[in-house]
């Protein structure tokens, strides 16, 4: 049994003391930033990335991954208790979760979210372990033309991540790709758009872009309207769900696990889509659709399971193709590269301990999260009382220190100012920052593979259409683009997103 | 259909046009090459043109059927405080050292909130300085000098 051997290797790596420790630190931090409004996993991972440079690669990735899926857990806590989703994927959880909390059933809602997430996370980790190796083998046969088409598909699918119009999301992606061209050209070494600044020769640092767009801009957004902090309405008791709850939860959890695992694999699709879809499915097949919105436990268990399953399987494109499906994944690509590992199909054969260790750590992380969240729920509730006027200076200061320590270059700090302001203006005008960051990270890959494919084909641009895999991927990309722009579907998306407000 | 003019759409579309256009102009200064061997200018030229075209589409749409977005007020005080704080950090961290720079940065940032009193701001800044020194310098062993040469000791 190859899989068992591989998993054994993974667990022996993940169970090393320092790996468990940093897995714990990761999920703890992840839960914290998921609970705290105003800071998300993207900004956190970006700020902490420089610190992990001195770690062993596997330890660094285990911790960063822990922050990512830990935030999914934490985000549901605030959604249920104070109707404030800490993470965008928890937005649908707030609908029924908060209704349950108002009826005094916050405990059952939190338990449903945690249990559903745990089951879904466990199953999705197995899916990841089973599906990744064959996919990596397929990916090994990809040439530059296929990679170009795949990256293009991933970028276009990421429109689904964005609120607002598809046109703006598309413009944000293209802007990200454009900003990614700053720095020395890979083939000729010509410095492009550097204004004779040595600091720009290596390109704009993606950590600065992420911290600026997701940290600084978000804080400016929150400081527009300063209100007194929301009072927490309910005290949490009766954590354990009733027998009736269990019966009603089982179906949604099972369905959402499958749904989330599948949607998480889509490059750019990810966990937000999964939780919205799961909610829609449960509402449609329920015998009591009128209960949805008024505290149906299915409406908590389903989306929460779906987003956690998707959070796990969204590592599949990262680990097999080197394609990030989420801004956090884009940052993890950076973490791989800093440690001298090129993310992609070779990771699984060149670094088996890292690959399987990371997968095993996700299961361990899910166990830790259940232990952290259910008995310690009181602690997280208390953390909500930290006033924002203490929180945002902390984020700004840590952002400055974190980006400065990247390479001890003040220029990186000025970059977060620039992207903070740019991001703020763009967000204020209805453009989401996530597509820009994905475009920024994937842009250089797009250019490199496009030029390499053209060199191999002797300048024949039809190579992207004559190679079958590449052609299929391009057709999918066009289909995704058409779907995103079609008015009917756009209206559906708007409905889904207005429901969350 | 009712004509809805959207100010944010026009603004953001113009930004896309300007940035895309700037990159297009800039990339014309580099070698474009042939399809077989694309020069350093070709890809930015292509993408810059796409950004500018999409920006133009957003502007046009903003005049005809824009997306109505509540613009809200602009927190000038917060923007000023945070920009100054971050620039200060970049300029002085080498010269003044970690402790003084962190303290001033945190203090200036705290003033971004219009609901904060000076005493609270000082307390928050002091607490954050101690915390970040413990976390980053003592705990994580970042190679940052605590006190810088500008302080004269």
Which of these, A390, A297, A384, lies nearest to A103 by C-alpha position? A297
**Helical H runs in A141-269?**
144-157, 166-179, 206-210, 217-222, 243-265
Residue of A nearest to B106 (CA): A393
Q: Do A401 and B132 touch (CB under 8 A)?
A: yes
Q: What is the pLDDT of residue A22?
A: 92
Per residue in A461-500, pLDDT tens?
888 888 888 999 899 888 888 877 775 455 555 555 554 4
The whole-number pLDDT of residue B3 equals 52
pLDDT tens for B91-129 read: 998 889 899 999 999 999 998 888 788 898 999 999 999
Domain holding A321, by residue range, is 2-500
pLDDT band at A290 (very low <50, low <70, confident <90, very high): confident
Instruction: Show residues of chain A in contact with B51, CB under 8 Å.
Output: 171, 174-175, 178
Residues B104 and B128 in one domain: yes
8 A C-beta contact, residue A75 and residue A85: yes
Q: Are residues B143 and B81 in the same domain?
A: yes
pLDDT higher for B57 or A480? B57
Choice among A81-85, A92-96, A236-240, A288-292 with the minimum mean pLDDT: A236-240
Question: Is the pLDDT score of A284 beyond 90?
Answer: no
- Whether B130 has its CB under 8 Å from any CB of chain A: the answer is no
The answer, yes or no, to whether residue B31 has pLDDT greater than 80, is: yes
- Residues of chain A contacting residue B55, judged by C-beta atoms under 8 Å apart: 171
CA distance A218 to A210: 11
CA nearest B35 in A: which residue?
A459
Distance of CA A426 to the CA centre of its chain: 21
Structure tokens at B127: 């607490």
Q: Which of B46, B65, B84 is the last residue of a domain?
A: B65
**Which of the pair, A304 or A91, is modelled with greater confidence?**
A304
Q: What is the CB neighbour count within 10 angstroms for residue A1?
A: 7
Residue with tokens 């999964």: A274
Contact flag B87-A414 (C-beta cutoff 8 Å): yes
Contact A327/A320 with Cβ under 8 angstroms? Answer: no
Instruction: Quote the pLDDT of residue B153.
Output: 64
Neighbours of B144 (CB within 10 A): 20
A472 vs A299: CA distance, rounded Å:
36
Q: What is the pLDDT of residue B1?
A: 41
Radius of gyration of chain B (CA): 24
Q: Does A360 touch chain B (CB under 8 A)?
A: no
Which residues have a Cβ under 8 Å from the Cβ of A216 and sit 6 or more positions away?
Answer: A396, A399, A416, A417, A419, A420, A421, A423, A424, B82, B86
Question: Residue B44 pLDDT > 90, yes or no?
Answer: yes
The answer to whether B75 contacts A223, with C-beta atoms less than 8 Å apart, is yes
Q: How confident is the model at residue A7 (pLDDT cuts 50, 70, 90)?
A: confident
Residues of A in contact with B34 (CB under 8 A): 459
Considering only CB atoms, A174 lies closest to which of B38, B50, B90, namely B50
If you average pLDDT over each of A38-47, A70-79, A229-238, A394-403, which comes out highest? A394-403
Please tell me the distance from the alpha carbon of residue A379 to that of residue A122, in angstroms, as a whole number.
25
Flag whether residue B152 sits within 8 Å of chain A, measured between CB atoms: no
Under 8 Å CB pairs connecting chains A and B tally to 193
Residue B97 falls inside a structural domain: yes
Q: How far is A83 from chain B (nearest CA, A)?
A: 22
Same domain flag for B140 and B84: yes
Does residue A381 or residue A298 have the better pLDDT? A298
In angstroms, the separation between the Cα of residue A190 and the nearest Cα of chain B is 7
- Cite the DSSP H helix spans in A384-486: 388-407, 410-428, 433-456, 463-466, 468-485
In a domain, B70, yes or no: no
Q: In this structure, what token pair is assigned to residue A177? A: 């790709």
Res A227: pLDDT: 60
Q: What is the model's pLDDT at position A47? A: 84
- Chain A nearest C-alpha distance from B62 (Å): 11
Query: What local confidence, expressed as pLDDT, does residue B2 receive?
Result: 46
A168 touching chain B per CB within 8 A: yes
Bridge partners of A183? A192
Residues 66-125 of A with CB under 8 A from B: none
For chain B, the domain total comes to 2
Of B20, B30, B54, nearest to A192 by CB-CB distance is B30
Nearest CA of chain B to the CA of A417: how many Å?
6
* A interface test, pick of B90, B101, B135 with most A CB neighbours within 10 Å: B90
Residues in contact with A6: Cβ distance below 8 Å, sequence separation at least 6, in sequence order: A129, A133, A352, A356
**Final residue of a structural domain among B65, B89, B108:** B65
Q: Is residue B116 helix, strand or coil?
A: coil
Are residues A425 and B11, on separate chains, in Cβ contact within 8 Å?
A: yes
Rg of chain A over CA atoms, in angstroms? 22
Reported confidence tier of residue A95, pLDDT bands at 50, 70, 90: confident
Position A484 scores a pLDDT of 74
Task: Verify that B43 and B93 share a domain, yes or no.
Answer: no
Instruction: With CB atoms and an 8 Å threshold, state whether A413 touches B12.
Output: no
DSSP letter string, A309-364: HHHHHTHHHHHHH---SSHHHHHHHHHHHHTT---STTHHHH-HHHHHHHHHHHHH
Residue entry with tokens 């940290």: A215
Q: Cβ distance A314 to A29 under 8 Å? A: no
Q: Does B9 touch chain A (CB under 8 A)?
A: yes
Going by pLDDT thresholds of 50, 70 and 90, the confidence category of residue B86 is very high
* Cβ <8 Å between A390 and B124: yes
Could you give the count of Cα atoms lying within 13 Å of A52 in the half-sphere of its Cβ? Answer: 32
Give the 3-state secondary structure percentages of chain A, helix then strand then coil, rounded to 5: 75, 0, 25
Nearest to B61 by CA among B8, B20, B23: B8
pLDDT computed for residue A205 by the predictor: 84
Q: Which residues of chain A lie closer than 8 angstroms to B43, CB-CB?
A: 181, 447, 450-451
Q: Evaluate whether residue B2 is within a structural domain.
A: no
| pLDDT value, residue A419 | 94
Q: Are A390 and B12 inside 8 Å of each other by CB?
A: no
pLDDT in tens, A314-327: 888 888 888 787 78
Which pLDDT score, from 0 to 100, does residue A80 have?
Answer: 84
Distance (Å) from the alpha carbon of A358 to chain B's nearest alpha carbon: 23
What is the spatial distance between Cα B70 and Cα A151, in angstroms, rounded to a whole number? 34
Spatial separation of the C-alpha atoms in residues A268 and A160, rounded to whole Å: 7
Q: Does B84 touch chain A (CB under 8 A)?
A: no
Q: Of B38, B94, B130, which to mutate for an interface test with A (greatest number of A Cβ within 10 Å)? A: B38
Q: How many domains does chain A have?
A: 1
Residue B11: which domain range? 7-65
Predicted local confidence at residue A497, as pLDDT: 52
pLDDT average, residue stretch A320-337: 82
Which pLDDT does position A499 carry in this prediction? 46
Nearest in space to A39 (alpha carbons), one of A461, A440, A402? A402
Check whether residue B104 and residue B141 sit in a common domain.
Answer: yes
Residues B98 and B129 in one domain: yes
Q: Does B4 touch chain A (CB under 8 A)?
A: no
Instruction: Tell me which chain A residues have a C-beta less than 8 angstroms from the C-beta of B60.
Output: none
What pLDDT, on the 0 to 100 scale, is given for residue A487? Answer: 59
Whole-number Å distance between alpha carbons of A27 and A22: 9
pLDDT confidence band for A268 (50 / 70 / 90): low
Q: Are B85 and B124 in contact (CB under 8 A)?
A: no
Considering the domain architecture, whether residues B54 and B90 belong to the same structural domain is answered as no
CA neighbor of A113 nearest in space, from A136, A129, A86, A94: A94
Cβ of B47 within 8 Å of Cβ of A414? The answer is: no
Per-residue pLDDT tens for A365-389?
A: 989 988 888 788 778 877 777 788 8
Mutation target to probe the B interface, by most B beta carbons within 10 A, among A411, A429, A494 is A429
| Strand A191-192 relative to strand A183-184, pairing | antiparallel
Using the beta-carbon criterion (under 8 Å), do A414 and B86 form an inter-chain contact? yes
ipTM of the complex: 0.92
Run of H or E residues at A192: strand A191-192
Domain-located, residue B127: yes
User: What is the average pLDDT across A405-425?
Assistant: 90
The per-residue pLDDT of chain A, averaged, comes to 83
Q: Is B124 close to A405, i.e. CB distance below 8 A?
A: no
Rounded to 5°, the CA angle B90-B94-B99 comes to 90
Give the model's pLDDT for residue A501. Answer: 38
Q: Specify the pLDDT at position A164.
A: 65
Question: For residue B71, is it within any domain?
Answer: no
pLDDT digits (tens, 9 = 90+) for A157-195: 777 656 667 888 899 999 999 999 998 888 888 888 888
Are the CB atoms for A117 and A80 separated by under 8 Å?
Answer: no
Q: Residue B42: is its pLDDT beyond 80?
A: yes
Q: Is the pLDDT of residue B74 over 50?
A: yes
């Amino acid at each position: 049994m190859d899989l068992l051997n591989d998993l054994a290797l993974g667990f022996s790596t993940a169970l090393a003391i320092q790996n468990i420790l940093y897995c714990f630190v990761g999920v703890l931090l992840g839960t914290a930033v998921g609970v705290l409004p105003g800071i998300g996993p993207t900004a956190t991972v970006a700020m902490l990335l420089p610190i992990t440079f001195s770690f062993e690669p596997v330890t660094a990735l285990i911790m960063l991954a822990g922050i990512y899926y830990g935030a999914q857990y934490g985000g549901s806590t605030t959604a249920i208790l104070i109707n404030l989703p800490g993470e965008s994927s928890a937005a649908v959880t707030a609908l029924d979760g908060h209704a349950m909390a108002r009826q005094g059933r916050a405990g059952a809602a939190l338990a449903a979210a945690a249990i559903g997430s745990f089951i879904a996370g466990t199953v999705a980790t197995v899916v990841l372990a089973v599906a990744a190796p064959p996919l990596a083998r397929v990916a090994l046969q990809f040439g530059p033309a296929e990679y170009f088409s795949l990256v293009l598909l991933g970028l276009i699918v990421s429109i689904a991540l964005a609120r607002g119009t598809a046109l703006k999301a598309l413009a944000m992606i293209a802007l990200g790709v454009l900003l990614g061209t700053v720095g020395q050209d890979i083939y000729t070494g010509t410095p492009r758009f550097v204004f004779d600044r040595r600091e720009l020769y290596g390109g704009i640092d993606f950590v600065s872009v992420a911290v600026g767009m997701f940290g600084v801009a978000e804080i400016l957004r929150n400081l527009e309207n300063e209100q007194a902090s929301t009072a927490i309405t309910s005290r949490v008791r009766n954590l354990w769900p009733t027998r009736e709850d269990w019966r009603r939860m089982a179906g949604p959890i099972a369905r959402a696990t499958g749904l989330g695992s599948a949607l998480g694999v889509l490059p750019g699709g990810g966990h937000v889509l999964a939780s919205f879809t799961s909610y829609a499915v449960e509402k449609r097949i329920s015998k009591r659709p009128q209960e949805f919105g008024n505290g149906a436990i299915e409406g908590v268990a389903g989306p929460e399971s779906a987003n956690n399953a998707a959070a796990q399987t969204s590592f599949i494109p990262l680990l097999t193709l080197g394609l990030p499906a989420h801004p956090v994944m884009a940052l993890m690509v950076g973490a791989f590269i800093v440690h001298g590992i090129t993310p992609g199909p070779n990771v699984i054969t060149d670094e088996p301990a890292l690959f399987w260790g990371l997968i095993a750590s996700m299961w361990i992380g899910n166990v830790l999260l259940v232990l952290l969240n259910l008995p310690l729920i009181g602690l997280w509730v208390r953390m909500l009382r930290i006033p924002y006027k203490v929180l945002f200076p902390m984020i700004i200061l840590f952002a400055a220190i974190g980006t400065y320590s990247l390479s001890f270059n003040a220029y990186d700090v000025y970059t977060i100012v620039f992207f903070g302001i740019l991001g703020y203006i763009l967000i204020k005008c209805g453009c989401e920052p996530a597509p820009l960051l994905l475009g920024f990270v994937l842009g250089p890959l797009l250019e490199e593979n496009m030029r390499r494919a053209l060199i191999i084909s002797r300048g024949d641009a039809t190579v992207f259409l004559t190679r079958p895999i590449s052609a299929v991927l391009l057709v999918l990309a066009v289909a995704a683009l058409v779907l995103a722009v079609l008015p009917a579907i756009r209206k559906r998306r708007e409905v889904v997103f207005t429901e969350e407000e | 259909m009712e004509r809805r003019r959207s100010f944010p759409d026009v603004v953001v579309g113009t930004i896309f046009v300007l940035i895309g256009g700037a990159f297009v102009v800039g990339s014309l200064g580099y070698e474009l090459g042939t399809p077989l061997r694309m020069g350093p200018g070709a890809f930015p030229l292509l993408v810059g043109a796409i950004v500018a075209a999409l920006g133009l589409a957003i502007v046009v749409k903003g005049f005809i059927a824009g997306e109505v977005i509540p613009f809200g007020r602009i927190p000038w005080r917060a923007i000023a405080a945070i920009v100054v704080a971050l620039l200060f950090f970049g300029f002085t961290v080498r010269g003044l050292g970690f402790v003084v720079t962190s303290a001033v940065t945190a203090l200036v940032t705290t003033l971004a909130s219009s609901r904060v009193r000076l005493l609270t701001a000082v307390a928050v800044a002091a607490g954050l300085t101690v915390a970040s020194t413990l976390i980053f310098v003592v705990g994580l062993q970042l190679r940052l000098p605590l006190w810088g040469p500008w302080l004269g000791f």
